Amino acid sequence: MFKEEEQQLIRQAIERAERNTSGEIRICVEKNCPEAEPMDRAVSYFFQLEMEKTRLRNGVLIYLASADRKFAVIGDAGINRVVPPDFWDSTKEAMLECFKNGQLAQGIITGIDRAGKELKKYFPAQAGDKNELSDDIAYMDGDQ
C-alpha cells in the first residue's frame, strides 16, 4: 500500500507530533471496510489497538480502507472534550484534498499534523512522558 519511503515519512510525522504532546496517534490501514460506515470500523480498531488505555484518554486513530476509498478519524474521550466541535470534520476535509490529488501518504501526514497540533495545545508533553502506543502503521489485513 505505502512504499517504504512513505511509511518512514508517516512514522516520522507521528514521532514529530508526539514529541510535543502526551497524546498518541495511530494509523490503521486495510484494503476493504466491511462496515457500511468507516467510523464503525475505526471504533472497532480503536479498541482492538487498545487506544482507550492511554493515561489521559488522548489517543487519535486515523483509519483508512484503501480499496474502498473510505477513511475516518476518531479521538478518545479526553481529546474530544476539548477540541472544537468541527475539528475532526475539518481534519478529514484537509486529508481528503490530498487524497483527491492522489497523495495518500500526504493526506495521512496532514491528519497527523493537525491532530498533533491540537494534542500539543491541550495535552503538552510533560517530563517523564512515555510512548504508550506503537508508532508503526497497523496493517490489519497484513498488506503493506
**Residue-range domain boundaries for the chain:** 4-124
Quickly list DSSP for the chain.
---HHHHHHHHHHHHHHHHTBS-EEEEEEES---SSSHHHHHHHHHHHTTGGGSTTS-EEEEEEETTTTEEEEEE-HHHHTTS-TTHHHHHHHHHHHHHHTT-HHHHHHHHHHHHHHHHHHHSB--TT----S--S-EETTS--
- Confidence label for 142 from pLDDT (cuts 50, 70 and 90): low
Q: Confirm if 26 and 62 have CB atoms less than 8 A apart.
A: yes
Q: Confirm if 106 and 90 have CB atoms less than 8 A apart.
A: no
35 grid coordinates? 462496515
The reported pTM is 0.94
CATH tag for 4-124 (out of 3.90.1010.10, 2.60.40.3500, 1.10.10.1100, 3.10.310.50): 3.10.310.50
User: pLDDT per residue over 86-136, tens digit each?
Assistant: 999 999 999 999 999 999 999 999 999 999 999 999 999 987 777 888 888
User: pLDDT per residue over 75-99, tens digit each?
Assistant: 999 999 999 989 999 999 999 999 9
